[in-house]
Structure 1
Amino acid sequence: MAQAVSPPRRHLDAVPSPRGGDASYTAPPAPRLVDSPVFVLSSVRSGSTLLRVLLNSHSRIRAPHEMHLRTLHVHLSREFTADAMRELQLDKDELEHLLWDRVLHLELTRSGKDVIVDKTPPNTLIWPRLHRCWPNARYILLLRHPGAVIASLTDRRTDPDREAIEAEVLDYSEKLEAARQSLDAHVVTYEDLTAEPERVTRSLCDYLGVAWESGMLDYGTKDHGTFRPQLGDWSSTIRSGRIQPARPADGTAALPPRLAELARAWGYPVGAPPRR
Protein backbone atom coordinates (compact mmCIF):
# COMPACT_ATOMS: atom_id res chain seq x y z
CA MET A 1 0.00 0.00 0.00
CA ALA A 2 1.14 3.51 -0.76
CA GLN A 3 2.62 5.46 2.13
CA ALA A 4 2.66 9.23 1.81
CA VAL A 5 6.10 10.68 2.38
CA SER A 6 6.30 13.34 5.09
CA PRO A 7 7.80 16.48 3.45
CA PRO A 8 9.89 19.23 4.98
CA ARG A 9 7.82 22.24 6.07
CA ARG A 10 8.24 25.61 4.42
CA HIS A 11 6.88 28.95 5.46
CA LEU A 12 3.34 29.74 4.32
CA ASP A 13 4.47 33.06 2.86
CA ALA A 14 6.18 31.04 0.14
CA VAL A 15 2.79 30.14 -1.35
CA PRO A 16 1.17 32.80 -3.53
CA SER A 17 -2.23 33.94 -2.30
CA PRO A 18 -4.34 35.60 -5.01
CA ARG A 19 -6.66 38.34 -3.87
CA GLY A 20 -9.77 40.00 -5.18
CA GLY A 21 -11.41 43.31 -4.39
CA ASP A 22 -9.78 46.68 -3.76
CA ALA A 23 -6.01 46.20 -3.65
CA SER A 24 -5.54 49.53 -1.84
CA TYR A 25 -7.14 48.27 1.37
CA THR A 26 -6.98 44.93 3.14
CA ALA A 27 -9.44 44.47 5.97
CA PRO A 28 -8.29 42.80 9.18
CA PRO A 29 -9.83 39.41 9.89
CA ALA A 30 -13.02 39.54 11.94
CA PRO A 31 -13.79 36.98 14.66
CA ARG A 32 -15.10 33.67 13.32
CA LEU A 33 -18.12 31.74 14.52
CA VAL A 34 -16.35 28.52 13.54
CA ASP A 35 -12.75 28.84 14.70
CA SER A 36 -11.31 25.55 13.45
CA PRO A 37 -13.23 23.99 10.57
CA VAL A 38 -11.79 20.97 8.80
CA PHE A 39 -11.15 20.91 5.04
CA VAL A 40 -10.48 17.81 2.98
CA LEU A 41 -8.08 18.74 0.19
CA SER A 42 -8.03 16.32 -2.71
CA SER A 43 -8.28 15.99 -6.44
CA VAL A 44 -11.59 15.13 -8.00
CA ARG A 45 -12.18 11.34 -8.29
CA SER A 46 -10.05 10.61 -5.24
CA GLY A 47 -12.59 9.10 -2.86
CA SER A 48 -13.53 12.27 -1.01
CA THR A 49 -17.23 11.33 -0.90
CA LEU A 50 -16.37 8.03 0.78
CA LEU A 51 -14.24 9.88 3.31
CA ARG A 52 -17.08 12.35 3.84
CA VAL A 53 -19.71 9.73 4.64
CA LEU A 54 -17.35 7.85 6.96
CA LEU A 55 -16.68 11.05 8.90
CA ASN A 56 -20.33 12.10 8.81
CA SER A 57 -21.25 8.78 10.41
CA HIS A 58 -19.50 9.94 13.59
CA SER A 59 -21.73 11.31 16.36
CA ARG A 60 -19.64 14.49 16.68
CA ILE A 61 -18.63 15.18 13.06
CA ARG A 62 -20.81 16.90 10.47
CA ALA A 63 -19.56 16.39 6.93
CA PRO A 64 -22.29 17.61 4.53
CA HIS A 65 -22.36 17.45 0.76
CA GLU A 66 -19.98 19.66 -1.22
CA MET A 67 -20.74 23.25 -0.21
CA HIS A 68 -18.72 25.10 -2.87
CA LEU A 69 -18.02 28.05 -0.60
CA ARG A 70 -15.58 29.53 -3.10
CA THR A 71 -18.48 30.19 -5.49
CA LEU A 72 -20.35 32.31 -2.92
CA HIS A 73 -19.50 35.93 -3.71
CA VAL A 74 -20.43 39.35 -2.39
CA HIS A 75 -21.25 42.08 -4.91
CA LEU A 76 -20.62 45.69 -3.88
CA SER A 77 -23.22 47.23 -6.16
CA ARG A 78 -22.64 50.98 -5.69
CA GLU A 79 -19.52 53.11 -6.01
CA PHE A 80 -19.69 54.18 -2.37
CA THR A 81 -20.29 50.65 -0.99
CA ALA A 82 -16.59 49.83 -0.70
CA ASP A 83 -16.00 53.07 1.20
CA ALA A 84 -18.87 52.30 3.54
CA MET A 85 -17.49 48.84 4.23
CA ARG A 86 -14.00 50.20 4.74
CA GLU A 87 -15.32 52.42 7.52
CA LEU A 88 -16.50 49.17 9.13
CA GLN A 89 -13.04 47.62 8.60
CA LEU A 90 -14.39 45.30 5.90
CA ASP A 91 -13.57 44.64 2.27
CA LYS A 92 -15.03 42.31 -0.36
CA ASP A 93 -12.85 39.34 0.64
CA GLU A 94 -13.60 39.70 4.33
CA LEU A 95 -17.33 40.07 3.65
CA GLU A 96 -17.16 36.79 1.71
CA HIS A 97 -15.22 35.20 4.56
CA LEU A 98 -17.96 36.24 6.98
CA LEU A 99 -20.56 34.69 4.67
CA TRP A 100 -18.60 31.44 4.37
CA ASP A 101 -18.15 31.29 8.13
CA ARG A 102 -21.85 31.88 8.73
CA VAL A 103 -22.79 29.06 6.34
CA LEU A 104 -20.51 26.63 8.19
CA HIS A 105 -21.82 27.76 11.56
CA LEU A 106 -25.44 27.40 10.48
CA GLU A 107 -24.84 23.87 9.18
CA LEU A 108 -22.96 22.89 12.32
CA THR A 109 -25.68 24.31 14.57
CA ARG A 110 -28.44 22.53 12.67
CA SER A 111 -26.57 19.22 12.95
CA GLY A 112 -26.13 19.39 16.72
CA LYS A 113 -22.51 18.30 16.28
CA ASP A 114 -19.32 20.18 17.11
CA VAL A 115 -16.83 19.41 14.29
CA ILE A 116 -17.56 20.41 10.69
CA VAL A 117 -15.78 19.06 7.62
CA ASP A 118 -16.02 20.50 4.11
CA LYS A 119 -14.81 18.11 1.44
CA THR A 120 -15.36 20.13 -1.76
CA PRO A 121 -12.44 19.14 -4.04
CA PRO A 122 -12.12 22.57 -5.76
CA ASN A 123 -11.28 24.00 -2.32
CA THR A 124 -7.88 22.50 -3.04
CA LEU A 125 -7.37 25.11 -5.74
CA ILE A 126 -7.89 28.00 -3.27
CA TRP A 127 -6.47 26.57 -0.06
CA PRO A 128 -4.28 29.66 0.66
CA ARG A 129 -7.44 31.75 0.87
CA LEU A 130 -9.09 29.21 3.17
CA HIS A 131 -6.03 29.44 5.38
CA ARG A 132 -6.29 33.23 5.37
CA CYS A 133 -9.98 33.03 6.27
CA TRP A 134 -9.50 30.45 9.03
CA PRO A 135 -5.93 30.58 10.42
CA ASN A 136 -6.85 27.79 12.84
CA ALA A 137 -8.42 25.49 10.26
CA ARG A 138 -7.37 21.86 10.11
CA TYR A 139 -6.68 19.97 6.90
CA ILE A 140 -6.95 16.40 5.73
CA LEU A 141 -5.00 15.73 2.53
CA LEU A 142 -6.53 12.82 0.64
CA LEU A 143 -4.15 11.50 -2.00
CA ARG A 144 -4.76 8.99 -4.78
CA HIS A 145 -2.42 7.69 -7.47
CA PRO A 146 -2.64 10.29 -10.29
CA GLY A 147 -2.85 7.49 -12.84
CA ALA A 148 -5.97 6.12 -11.14
CA VAL A 149 -7.49 9.62 -11.04
CA ILE A 150 -6.87 10.03 -14.77
CA ALA A 151 -8.43 6.63 -15.48
CA SER A 152 -11.49 7.44 -13.35
CA LEU A 153 -12.04 10.80 -15.05
CA THR A 154 -11.59 9.21 -18.47
CA ASP A 155 -14.22 6.58 -17.70
CA ARG A 156 -16.65 9.13 -16.26
CA ARG A 157 -16.65 11.52 -19.23
CA THR A 158 -18.60 11.00 -22.43
CA ASP A 159 -15.95 12.32 -24.83
CA PRO A 160 -12.73 12.35 -22.79
CA ASP A 161 -9.84 14.55 -23.85
CA ARG A 162 -6.72 12.85 -22.47
CA GLU A 163 -4.57 15.97 -22.65
CA ALA A 164 -7.19 18.12 -20.89
CA ILE A 165 -7.72 15.47 -18.20
CA GLU A 166 -3.99 15.21 -17.54
CA ALA A 167 -3.78 19.01 -17.26
CA GLU A 168 -6.70 19.04 -14.79
CA VAL A 169 -5.15 16.32 -12.63
CA LEU A 170 -1.80 18.10 -12.72
CA ASP A 171 -3.41 21.35 -11.54
CA TYR A 172 -4.99 19.62 -8.57
CA SER A 173 -1.81 17.69 -7.85
CA GLU A 174 0.38 20.80 -7.84
CA LYS A 175 -1.97 22.51 -5.39
CA LEU A 176 -2.04 19.39 -3.21
CA GLU A 177 1.74 19.24 -3.14
CA ALA A 178 1.97 22.91 -2.20
CA ALA A 179 -0.47 22.27 0.64
CA ARG A 180 1.43 19.15 1.69
CA GLN A 181 4.65 21.12 1.86
CA SER A 182 3.13 24.09 3.68
CA LEU A 183 0.36 23.02 6.02
CA ASP A 184 0.40 20.96 9.19
CA ALA A 185 -2.07 18.56 7.59
CA HIS A 186 -3.06 14.95 8.19
CA VAL A 187 -2.23 12.94 5.06
CA VAL A 188 -4.11 9.80 4.05
CA THR A 189 -4.39 7.89 0.79
CA TYR A 190 -7.55 6.60 -0.82
CA GLU A 191 -5.84 3.25 -1.31
CA ASP A 192 -5.19 2.91 2.43
CA LEU A 193 -8.66 4.22 3.33
CA THR A 194 -10.34 1.44 1.37
CA ALA A 195 -7.87 -1.29 2.33
CA GLU A 196 -7.61 -0.49 6.05
CA PRO A 197 -10.60 1.71 6.90
CA GLU A 198 -10.46 1.10 10.65
CA ARG A 199 -6.80 2.02 10.97
CA VAL A 200 -7.17 5.12 8.79
CA THR A 201 -10.36 6.38 10.45
CA ARG A 202 -8.81 5.81 13.89
CA SER A 203 -5.89 8.04 12.89
CA LEU A 204 -8.29 10.65 11.53
CA CYS A 205 -10.25 10.66 14.79
CA ASP A 206 -7.00 11.13 16.72
CA TYR A 207 -6.17 14.11 14.52
CA LEU A 208 -9.63 15.63 15.00
CA GLY A 209 -9.63 15.02 18.75
CA VAL A 210 -12.64 12.71 18.88
CA ALA A 211 -12.99 9.12 20.01
CA TRP A 212 -13.19 6.54 17.21
CA GLU A 213 -16.62 4.96 16.66
CA SER A 214 -17.09 1.61 14.94
CA GLY A 215 -20.30 2.89 13.36
CA MET A 216 -18.20 5.08 11.07
CA LEU A 217 -17.44 2.01 8.96
CA ASP A 218 -21.13 1.19 8.50
CA TYR A 219 -21.98 4.41 6.68
CA GLY A 220 -24.81 2.83 4.69
CA THR A 221 -27.05 2.81 7.77
CA LYS A 222 -26.80 6.60 8.19
CA ASP A 223 -28.46 9.51 6.38
CA HIS A 224 -25.93 11.46 4.31
CA GLY A 225 -28.32 13.42 2.14
CA THR A 226 -28.79 13.10 -1.61
CA PHE A 227 -26.05 11.63 -3.79
CA ARG A 228 -26.20 13.61 -7.02
CA PRO A 229 -23.94 15.48 -9.48
CA GLN A 230 -22.24 18.68 -8.29
CA LEU A 231 -22.68 17.61 -4.65
CA GLY A 232 -20.19 14.73 -4.68
CA ASP A 233 -19.97 11.18 -6.02
CA TRP A 234 -23.30 9.64 -7.01
CA SER A 235 -22.10 6.32 -8.44
CA SER A 236 -23.44 2.88 -7.54
CA THR A 237 -20.23 2.31 -5.58
CA ILE A 238 -20.95 5.03 -3.03
CA ARG A 239 -24.68 4.23 -3.03
CA SER A 240 -23.92 0.62 -2.09
CA GLY A 241 -23.28 1.70 1.51
CA ARG A 242 -20.16 -0.47 1.65
CA ILE A 243 -16.46 0.36 1.54
CA GLN A 244 -15.14 -1.16 -1.66
CA PRO A 245 -11.52 -1.68 -2.80
CA ALA A 246 -9.89 1.20 -4.64
CA ARG A 247 -9.38 0.73 -8.33
CA PRO A 248 -5.62 0.36 -8.77
CA ALA A 249 -3.62 2.46 -11.19
CA ASP A 250 -2.35 0.78 -14.35
CA GLY A 251 1.28 0.12 -13.51
CA THR A 252 2.20 -0.01 -17.18
CA ALA A 253 0.63 3.35 -18.06
CA ALA A 254 3.13 6.19 -18.28
CA LEU A 255 2.40 9.55 -16.70
CA PRO A 256 3.59 12.97 -17.86
CA PRO A 257 6.96 13.73 -16.19
CA ARG A 258 5.70 16.18 -13.56
CA LEU A 259 2.76 13.96 -12.55
CA ALA A 260 5.15 11.02 -12.29
CA GLU A 261 7.41 13.11 -10.07
CA LEU A 262 4.53 14.01 -7.77
CA ALA A 263 3.30 10.41 -7.64
CA ARG A 264 6.73 9.26 -6.51
CA ALA A 265 6.87 12.01 -3.88
CA TRP A 266 3.59 10.64 -2.51
CA GLY A 267 4.98 7.11 -2.33
CA TYR A 268 3.33 5.64 -5.41
CA PRO A 269 4.96 3.34 -7.99
CA VAL A 270 5.20 4.89 -11.44
CA GLY A 271 5.78 3.31 -14.84
CA ALA A 272 8.39 4.28 -17.40
CA PRO A 273 8.34 7.88 -18.72
CA PRO A 274 6.59 8.44 -22.06
CA ARG A 275 8.66 8.24 -25.21
CA ARG A 276 9.57 11.47 -26.92
Structure 2
Amino acid sequence: MSLARHLNRALTVTTGLQVRRAPRAAKGKTSAVPKPAERPAAAYRCPSAEELATDRLLRRPVFVISSIRSGSTLLRMMLGAHPRLHTAHELHLGRVDVICDNWHSEHAMSALGLARGDLEHLLWDRVMHRELVKAGKDFIVEKTPANAYMYRRLKDCWPDARFVFLLRHPESVARSWHESDPVKRPYDKAVTDVLRYMTAVEEARAADTEGFTVRYEDITADPEREMRRLCAFLGVDYAPAMLNYGRKSGRELVRGLGDWRDNIRTGTVQPGRALPAQDEIPERLRPMCATWGYTSDAASGATPAAAS
Protein backbone atom coordinates (compact mmCIF):
# COMPACT_ATOMS: atom_id res chain seq x y z
CA MET A 1 0.00 0.00 0.00
CA SER A 2 1.34 3.42 -0.90
CA LEU A 3 2.33 6.00 1.68
CA ALA A 4 -0.57 8.21 0.57
CA ARG A 5 -3.07 5.41 1.28
CA HIS A 6 -1.56 4.76 4.73
CA LEU A 7 -1.84 8.45 5.56
CA ASN A 8 -5.39 8.65 4.26
CA ARG A 9 -6.42 5.56 6.33
CA ALA A 10 -4.93 7.06 9.48
CA LEU A 11 -6.61 10.40 8.75
CA THR A 12 -9.97 8.68 8.26
CA VAL A 13 -9.71 6.81 11.55
CA THR A 14 -8.77 9.90 13.56
CA THR A 15 -10.81 12.64 11.86
CA GLY A 16 -13.28 10.99 9.53
CA LEU A 17 -11.78 12.95 6.62
CA GLN A 18 -9.87 11.96 3.52
CA VAL A 19 -7.54 13.83 1.17
CA ARG A 20 -8.36 13.56 -2.52
CA ARG A 21 -6.58 14.91 -5.58
CA ALA A 22 -8.32 17.91 -7.11
CA PRO A 23 -9.80 17.12 -10.55
CA ARG A 24 -7.74 18.34 -13.46
CA ALA A 25 -9.16 21.13 -15.56
CA ALA A 26 -10.40 20.06 -18.97
CA LYS A 27 -8.11 20.78 -21.87
CA GLY A 28 -8.64 24.17 -23.45
CA LYS A 29 -10.17 25.61 -20.28
CA THR A 30 -8.41 28.09 -18.03
CA SER A 31 -9.21 29.23 -14.54
CA ALA A 32 -11.58 32.15 -14.43
CA VAL A 33 -9.86 35.49 -14.05
CA PRO A 34 -11.86 38.39 -12.64
CA LYS A 35 -12.67 41.08 -15.16
CA PRO A 36 -10.77 44.36 -14.67
CA ALA A 37 -13.91 46.10 -13.43
CA GLU A 38 -14.31 43.44 -10.73
CA ARG A 39 -10.73 43.64 -9.50
CA PRO A 40 -9.44 46.12 -6.94
CA ALA A 41 -7.52 49.12 -8.24
CA ALA A 42 -3.94 48.24 -9.10
CA ALA A 43 -1.32 49.49 -6.66
CA TYR A 44 1.62 51.32 -8.19
CA ARG A 45 4.29 53.83 -7.36
CA CYS A 46 5.17 57.05 -9.12
CA PRO A 47 8.72 56.81 -10.51
CA SER A 48 11.17 59.42 -9.32
CA ALA A 49 13.13 61.55 -11.77
CA GLU A 50 16.06 59.14 -11.43
CA GLU A 51 13.90 56.06 -11.94
CA LEU A 52 12.34 57.41 -15.15
CA ALA A 53 15.56 56.66 -17.03
CA THR A 54 15.11 52.92 -16.41
CA ASP A 55 11.33 52.63 -15.96
CA ARG A 56 10.17 54.51 -19.07
CA LEU A 57 11.20 54.32 -22.72
CA LEU A 58 8.67 56.93 -23.82
CA ARG A 59 9.39 60.61 -23.42
CA ARG A 60 6.77 63.38 -23.21
CA PRO A 61 3.77 61.51 -24.66
CA VAL A 62 0.71 63.55 -25.57
CA PHE A 63 -2.81 62.59 -24.48
CA VAL A 64 -5.95 64.15 -25.92
CA ILE A 65 -8.58 64.26 -23.19
CA SER A 66 -12.09 64.62 -24.56
CA SER A 67 -15.62 63.32 -24.44
CA ILE A 68 -16.91 60.95 -27.08
CA ARG A 69 -18.20 62.70 -30.24
CA SER A 70 -16.02 65.75 -29.71
CA GLY A 71 -13.96 65.58 -32.90
CA SER A 72 -10.98 63.69 -31.49
CA THR A 73 -10.69 61.57 -34.65
CA LEU A 74 -10.36 64.69 -36.76
CA LEU A 75 -7.75 66.10 -34.37
CA ARG A 76 -5.86 62.81 -34.38
CA MET A 77 -5.61 62.80 -38.16
CA MET A 78 -4.50 66.41 -38.32
CA LEU A 79 -1.81 65.85 -35.70
CA GLY A 80 -0.76 62.59 -37.36
CA ALA A 81 0.01 64.50 -40.57
CA HIS A 82 2.78 66.34 -38.73
CA PRO A 83 6.23 64.91 -39.53
CA ARG A 84 7.18 64.68 -35.84
CA LEU A 85 3.90 63.47 -34.32
CA HIS A 86 2.63 59.90 -34.45
CA THR A 87 -1.04 59.38 -33.60
CA ALA A 88 -1.95 55.81 -32.75
CA HIS A 89 -5.42 54.34 -32.95
CA GLU A 90 -7.31 54.36 -29.66
CA LEU A 91 -5.28 52.06 -27.41
CA HIS A 92 -7.68 51.73 -24.44
CA LEU A 93 -4.78 51.39 -22.03
CA GLY A 94 -7.09 51.25 -19.05
CA ARG A 95 -8.30 47.84 -20.26
CA VAL A 96 -4.80 46.44 -20.72
CA ASP A 97 -3.71 44.92 -17.44
CA VAL A 98 -1.24 42.39 -16.06
CA ILE A 99 -2.00 39.27 -14.03
CA CYS A 100 0.32 37.28 -11.79
CA ASP A 101 -1.66 34.06 -11.60
CA ASN A 102 0.22 32.34 -8.78
CA TRP A 103 2.15 33.11 -5.62
CA HIS A 104 5.53 32.50 -7.21
CA SER A 105 5.10 35.17 -9.89
CA GLU A 106 3.69 37.64 -7.38
CA HIS A 107 6.62 37.00 -5.04
CA ALA A 108 9.15 37.36 -7.87
CA MET A 109 7.70 40.67 -9.01
CA SER A 110 7.46 41.91 -5.44
CA ALA A 111 11.15 41.13 -4.99
CA LEU A 112 11.80 43.45 -7.93
CA GLY A 113 9.72 46.18 -6.29
CA LEU A 114 6.98 45.87 -8.91
CA ALA A 115 3.32 45.84 -7.93
CA ARG A 116 0.60 44.98 -10.46
CA GLY A 117 0.13 48.63 -11.40
CA ASP A 118 3.87 49.05 -11.99
CA LEU A 119 3.84 46.09 -14.37
CA GLU A 120 0.90 47.58 -16.23
CA HIS A 121 2.75 50.87 -16.58
CA LEU A 122 5.79 49.09 -18.00
CA LEU A 123 3.58 47.28 -20.51
CA TRP A 124 1.73 50.45 -21.55
CA ASP A 125 5.01 52.28 -21.99
CA ARG A 126 6.53 49.50 -24.07
CA VAL A 127 3.50 49.21 -26.36
CA MET A 128 3.40 52.93 -27.05
CA HIS A 129 7.15 53.18 -27.49
CA ARG A 130 7.01 50.30 -29.97
CA GLU A 131 4.44 52.16 -32.07
CA LEU A 132 6.50 55.35 -31.97
CA VAL A 133 9.67 53.57 -33.08
CA LYS A 134 7.80 51.87 -35.94
CA ALA A 135 6.50 55.26 -37.08
CA GLY A 136 9.97 56.82 -36.94
CA LYS A 137 8.69 60.02 -35.33
CA ASP A 138 9.52 61.94 -32.18
CA PHE A 139 6.34 62.07 -30.07
CA ILE A 140 3.25 59.90 -29.76
CA VAL A 141 -0.32 61.22 -29.38
CA GLU A 142 -3.06 59.02 -27.85
CA LYS A 143 -6.70 60.03 -27.84
CA THR A 144 -8.94 57.31 -26.36
CA PRO A 145 -11.97 59.13 -24.83
CA ALA A 146 -11.87 56.82 -21.80
CA ASN A 147 -8.57 58.49 -20.89
CA ALA A 148 -10.72 61.19 -19.34
CA TYR A 149 -11.43 58.77 -16.51
CA MET A 150 -7.76 57.92 -15.91
CA TYR A 151 -6.03 61.29 -16.19
CA ARG A 152 -4.37 60.89 -12.78
CA ARG A 153 -3.09 57.40 -13.64
CA LEU A 154 -1.61 58.61 -16.92
CA LYS A 155 0.06 61.52 -15.17
CA ASP A 156 1.51 59.20 -12.53
CA CYS A 157 2.75 56.78 -15.19
CA TRP A 158 4.38 59.49 -17.30
CA PRO A 159 5.17 62.54 -15.14
CA ASP A 160 6.38 64.37 -18.26
CA ALA A 161 3.17 63.67 -20.24
CA ARG A 162 1.40 66.58 -21.92
CA PHE A 163 -2.37 66.90 -22.07
CA VAL A 164 -4.57 68.50 -24.73
CA PHE A 165 -8.17 69.10 -23.66
CA LEU A 166 -10.57 69.04 -26.58
CA LEU A 167 -13.93 70.69 -25.90
CA ARG A 168 -17.09 70.87 -27.93
CA HIS A 169 -20.50 72.40 -27.24
CA PRO A 170 -22.15 69.93 -24.81
CA GLU A 171 -25.45 69.87 -26.69
CA SER A 172 -23.67 69.17 -29.98
CA VAL A 173 -21.86 66.27 -28.31
CA ALA A 174 -25.11 64.83 -26.97
CA ARG A 175 -26.91 65.32 -30.28
CA SER A 176 -24.12 63.61 -32.22
CA TRP A 177 -24.04 60.66 -29.78
CA HIS A 178 -27.81 60.28 -30.05
CA GLU A 179 -27.84 60.48 -33.85
CA SER A 180 -25.13 57.82 -34.18
CA ASP A 181 -27.72 55.25 -32.95
CA PRO A 182 -31.13 56.81 -32.19
CA VAL A 183 -32.73 53.48 -31.29
CA LYS A 184 -30.05 52.35 -28.89
CA ARG A 185 -29.47 55.83 -27.49
CA PRO A 186 -32.56 58.00 -27.05
CA TYR A 187 -31.62 61.64 -26.65
CA ASP A 188 -32.10 61.70 -22.87
CA LYS A 189 -29.81 58.68 -22.45
CA ALA A 190 -27.26 60.29 -24.76
CA VAL A 191 -27.23 63.35 -22.50
CA THR A 192 -26.57 61.12 -19.47
CA ASP A 193 -23.77 59.28 -21.27
CA VAL A 194 -21.88 62.31 -22.50
CA LEU A 195 -22.32 64.27 -19.29
CA ARG A 196 -20.27 61.63 -17.46
CA TYR A 197 -17.45 62.04 -19.97
CA MET A 198 -17.58 65.83 -19.90
CA THR A 199 -17.53 65.90 -16.11
CA ALA A 200 -14.38 63.75 -16.12
CA VAL A 201 -12.80 65.98 -18.79
CA GLU A 202 -13.47 69.08 -16.70
CA GLU A 203 -12.07 67.47 -13.54
CA ALA A 204 -8.87 66.62 -15.41
CA ARG A 205 -8.70 70.06 -16.99
CA ALA A 206 -9.07 71.73 -13.58
CA ALA A 207 -6.30 69.53 -12.17
CA ASP A 208 -3.83 70.25 -14.99
CA THR A 209 -3.03 73.96 -15.07
CA GLU A 210 -0.31 73.37 -17.68
CA GLY A 211 -2.57 71.58 -20.16
CA PHE A 212 -3.75 73.06 -23.45
CA THR A 213 -7.42 73.61 -24.27
CA VAL A 214 -8.72 73.63 -27.84
CA ARG A 215 -12.29 73.66 -29.14
CA TYR A 216 -13.72 71.64 -31.98
CA GLU A 217 -15.60 74.72 -33.22
CA ASP A 218 -12.36 76.72 -33.40
CA ILE A 219 -10.58 73.94 -35.28
CA THR A 220 -13.29 73.83 -37.95
CA ALA A 221 -13.57 77.64 -38.12
CA ASP A 222 -9.85 78.46 -38.35
CA PRO A 223 -7.79 75.25 -38.49
CA GLU A 224 -4.47 76.93 -39.30
CA ARG A 225 -4.66 79.24 -36.30
CA GLU A 226 -5.54 76.38 -33.95
CA MET A 227 -2.86 74.05 -35.29
CA ARG A 228 -0.27 76.80 -34.94
CA ARG A 229 -1.29 77.30 -31.33
CA LEU A 230 -1.23 73.59 -30.67
CA CYS A 231 2.18 73.12 -32.30
CA ALA A 232 3.57 75.94 -30.16
CA PHE A 233 2.33 74.16 -27.05
CA LEU A 234 3.89 70.87 -28.18
CA GLY A 235 7.19 72.54 -29.05
CA VAL A 236 7.17 71.59 -32.74
CA ASP A 237 7.12 73.75 -35.85
CA TYR A 238 3.78 74.22 -37.58
CA ALA A 239 3.35 71.94 -40.63
CA PRO A 240 0.89 72.98 -43.39
CA ALA A 241 0.28 69.29 -44.12
CA MET A 242 -1.86 69.20 -40.98
CA LEU A 243 -4.63 70.97 -42.89
CA ASN A 244 -4.51 68.55 -45.82
CA TYR A 245 -3.97 65.19 -44.23
CA GLY A 246 -4.97 63.16 -47.27
CA ARG A 247 -7.56 60.55 -48.07
CA LYS A 248 -8.02 57.72 -45.62
CA SER A 249 -9.07 54.14 -46.09
CA GLY A 250 -12.63 52.93 -45.89
CA ARG A 251 -11.90 51.50 -42.46
CA GLU A 252 -10.84 54.96 -41.27
CA LEU A 253 -14.08 56.38 -42.62
CA VAL A 254 -16.12 53.91 -40.59
CA ARG A 255 -14.11 54.56 -37.44
CA GLY A 256 -14.47 58.31 -37.89
CA LEU A 257 -18.18 58.61 -38.60
CA GLY A 258 -19.74 61.60 -36.90
CA ASP A 259 -20.36 65.27 -37.60
CA TRP A 260 -16.79 65.48 -38.86
CA ARG A 261 -17.28 62.67 -41.42
CA ASP A 262 -16.88 65.08 -44.34
CA ASN A 263 -13.55 66.15 -42.85
CA ILE A 264 -12.45 62.52 -42.66
CA ARG A 265 -13.61 61.74 -46.20
CA THR A 266 -11.98 64.69 -47.93
CA GLY A 267 -8.83 65.00 -45.83
CA THR A 268 -9.41 68.73 -45.40
CA VAL A 269 -11.15 70.57 -42.59
CA GLN A 270 -14.78 71.48 -43.28
CA PRO A 271 -17.09 73.76 -41.23
CA GLY A 272 -18.79 72.11 -38.27
CA ARG A 273 -22.52 72.07 -37.55
CA ALA A 274 -24.17 75.26 -36.30
CA LEU A 275 -24.24 75.74 -32.54
CA PRO A 276 -27.60 75.07 -30.89
CA ALA A 277 -29.93 77.85 -29.87
CA GLN A 278 -30.27 78.51 -26.15
CA ASP A 279 -33.72 76.90 -25.94
CA GLU A 280 -32.33 73.70 -27.53
CA ILE A 281 -29.93 73.11 -24.64
CA PRO A 282 -31.28 70.68 -21.99
CA GLU A 283 -31.28 71.96 -18.43
CA ARG A 284 -28.83 69.25 -17.38
CA LEU A 285 -26.22 70.46 -19.87
CA ARG A 286 -26.45 74.17 -19.11
CA PRO A 287 -24.02 74.18 -16.15
CA MET A 288 -21.36 72.52 -18.33
CA CYS A 289 -22.07 74.97 -21.15
CA ALA A 290 -21.43 77.81 -18.71
CA THR A 291 -18.27 76.18 -17.32
CA TRP A 292 -16.85 75.72 -20.81
CA GLY A 293 -17.77 79.21 -21.95
CA TYR A 294 -20.61 78.28 -24.27
CA THR A 295 -22.80 81.14 -23.15
CA SER A 296 -25.97 82.47 -24.77
CA ASP A 297 -23.75 84.53 -27.08
CA ALA A 298 -22.00 81.35 -28.20
CA ALA A 299 -25.31 79.60 -28.71
CA SER A 300 -26.45 82.38 -31.03
CA GLY A 301 -23.63 81.59 -33.41
CA ALA A 302 -20.43 83.08 -31.99
CA THR A 303 -17.64 80.76 -30.91
CA PRO A 304 -16.02 81.32 -27.50
CA ALA A 305 -12.63 82.96 -27.60
CA ALA A 306 -9.74 80.51 -28.08
CA ALA A 307 -8.44 79.30 -24.74
CA SER A 308 -4.89 78.28 -23.99
- What is the TM-score of this pair, normalised by structure 1? 0.83
Among all aligned residue pairs of Structure 1 and Structure 2, give the percentage whose two residues are the same amino acid. 40
Matched, 1:241 2:262: no
Pick one of 214, 228, 234 that aligns with 1:188: 214
Distance 1:61 1:28 in 2: 26
Q: Which residue of 2 aligns with 1:214?
A: 240
Q: Which residue of 2 aligns with 1:254?
A: 281
172 and 137 in structure 1: CA distance in 2 versus 1, 3 angstrom threshold: same
Distance 2:45 2:204 in 1: 25
Pick one of 124, 132, 140 that aligns with 2:156: 132
More helix by share: 2
Q: Which residue of 1 aligns with 2:21?
A: none
Runs of 4+ in 1 over 6 A off after TM superposition: none
Instruction: Give the drift of 1:132.
Output: 1.1
Map Cα deviations across residues 131-164 of structure 1 (whole Å, 9 max, x no partner): 1111110000000001000110111014122332
Q: Which residue of 2 aligns with 1:102?
A: 126
Pick one of 118, 126, 142 that aligns with 1:118: 142
Asked if 2 retains the 8 angstrom alpha-carbon contact of 1:65 and 1:225, the reply is: no
Asked if 2 retains the 8 angstrom alpha-carbon contact of 1:27 and 1:86, the reply is: no
Instruction: Give the drift of 1:79.
Output: 2.9
224 and 88 in structure 1: CA distance in 2 versus 1, 3 angstrom threshold: farther
Asked if 2 retains the 8 angstrom alpha-carbon contact of 1:57 and 1:215, the reply is: yes
Distance 2:79 2:197 in 1: 23
Number of aligned residue pairs: 247
Letter in 2 for 1:239: R
Larger RCO: 1 or 2 (CA < 8 Å, sep 6+) = 1
Instruction: Point out where structure 1 has 5 or more consecutive residues left out of the alignment.
Output: 1-17, 272-276
Map Cα deviations across residues 219-242 of structure 1 (whole Å, 9 max, x no partner): 125x6894166xx41454212212
Letter in 1 for 2:106: A
Query: Helix, strand or coil: the match of 1:105?
Result: helix
Letter in 2 for 1:152: S
Q: Alpha carbon RMSD of aligned pairs, Å?
A: 2.1
Asked if 1 retains the 8 angstrom alpha-carbon contact of 2:65 and 2:166, the reply is: yes
Pick one of 77, 85, 98 that aligns with 2:109: 85
- What is the TM-score of this pair, normalised by structure 2? 0.75
Higher Cα Rg: structure 1 or 2? Answer: 2
Distance 2:250 2:117 in 1: 30
Asked if 2 retains the 8 angstrom alpha-carbon contact of 1:53 and 1:224, the reply is: no
Q: Which residue of 2 aligns with 1:168?
A: 193
55 and 263 in structure 1: CA distance in 2 versus 1, 3 angstrom threshold: same
Letter in 1 for 2:136: G
Distance 2:143 2:289 in 1: 22
Query: Helix, strand or coil: the match of 1:141?
Result: strand
Instruction: Point out where structure 2 has 5 or more consecutive residues left out of the alignment.
Output: 1-38, 300-308
